[in-house]
């Protein structure tokens, strides 16, 4: 028979839980209210992205999405199909997936490639103005070597082919805290890819670093599902701290593509992605402050 002193243990546990909650709250609060240095520029880019769509359509540009079968890629395809910003969109992946013909128009074309023989598909990477690189896997799914093969080798090789094929603007979906010197495989690999892409000298390179993506994945990832469950209330209280809805990421990518800049390389952190999506109240608050 187990026995313990409830009057001693329960209050102690309650104090410990309360202390941890206060610490986490302070941590999230510091992230949430950490000022964005270039907020005016980001708000301007989001507004330009919204306002310049008609002009952008008339330019008749083409795009390619790498990783269109993933969660971000799927949302991006849906939004681009609705907006009809490009005269042609090539979807490159290792397999073909059913597309909703009521949403996706004839300007979308799927290309199936063997990533182990990418040189054989050089023609598929030619003639694109904008590239959205959303390709990625996990160590749990593919193992360490498989992860590096996909997230490093495939990403860089396809970027090289796209660059030699005339691509002007590449957008790469990286991750929060990406750092080529990190001790963690995931963030280190993403950081290494970022550094390698920079020396390819695209006319414009846009790197997005979203934190935890809020999305119900079609592919089951238990740890991510648990993290989203725990972080759902956090995302309500501190929406820009360490989470971002996947629709915000896709919309931000579109706004970045449509907007103009004099920078050759730009990196957008999680909070900045919220602003670039045009869905964050941050820009509205800034506008109200100016008019007062």
Residues 78, 81: Cα–Cα separation, whole Å:
5
* Structure tokens that stand for 87 in this block: 């005269």
Contact status, residue 243 vs residue 214, Cβ threshold 8 Å: yes
Contact status, residue 292 vs residue 115, Cβ threshold 8 Å: no
Q: Which of 186, 198, 279, 286 is catalytic?
A: 186
- Whether 186 is a known active-site residue: answer yes
Burial environment of residue 87 by CB neighbours within 10 A (0 to 12, 13 to 18, 19 or more): middle
HSE at residue 32, side-chain half, CA atoms within 13 A, is 14
CA distances from 254 to 128, 171, 209, 281, 287 (A): 15, 10, 15, 19, 23
Q: Which of 61, 190, 248, 271 is catalytic?
A: 190
Q: Which residues are catalytic?
A: 186, 190
């Amino acid at each position: 028979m187990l026995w313990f002193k409830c009057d001693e243990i329960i209050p102690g546990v309650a104090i410990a839980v309360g202390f941890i909650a206060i610490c986490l709250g302070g941590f999230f609060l510091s992230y949430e209210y950490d000022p964005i240095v270039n907020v005016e520029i980001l708000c301007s880019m989001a507004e330009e992205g919204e306002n310049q769509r008609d002009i952008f359509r008339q330019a008749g540009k083409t795009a390619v999405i790498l990783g269109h079968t993933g969660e971000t890629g799927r949302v991006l395809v849906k939004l681009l199909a609705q907006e009809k910003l490009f005269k042609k969109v090539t979807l490159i992946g290792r397999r073909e997936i059913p597309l909703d013909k009521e949403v996706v128009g004839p300007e979308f074309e799927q290309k199936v490639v063997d990533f182990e023989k990418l040189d054989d598909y050089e023609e598929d990477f030619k003639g694109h103005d904008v590239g959205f690189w959303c390709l990625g896997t996990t160590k749990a799914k593919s193992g360490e070597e498989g992860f590096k093969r996909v997230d490093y080798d495939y990403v860089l090789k396809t970027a090289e082919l796209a660059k030699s094929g005339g691509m002007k603007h590449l957008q790469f979906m990286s991750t929060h805290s990406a750092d080529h010197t990190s001790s963690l495989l995931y963030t280190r690999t993403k950081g290494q890819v970022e550094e390698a892409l920079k020396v390819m000298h695209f006319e414009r390179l846009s790197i997005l670093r979203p934190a935890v993506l809020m999305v119900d994945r079609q592919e089951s990832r238990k740890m991510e599902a648990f993290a989203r469950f725990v972080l759902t209330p956090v995302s309500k209280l501190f929406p820009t701290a360490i989470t971002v809805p996947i629709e915000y990421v896709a919309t931000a990518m579109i706004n970045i593509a449509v907007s103009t800049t004099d920078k050759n390389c730009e990196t957008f952190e999680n909070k900045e992605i919220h602003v670039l999506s045009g869905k964050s109240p941050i820009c509205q608050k800034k506008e109200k402050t100016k008019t007062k």
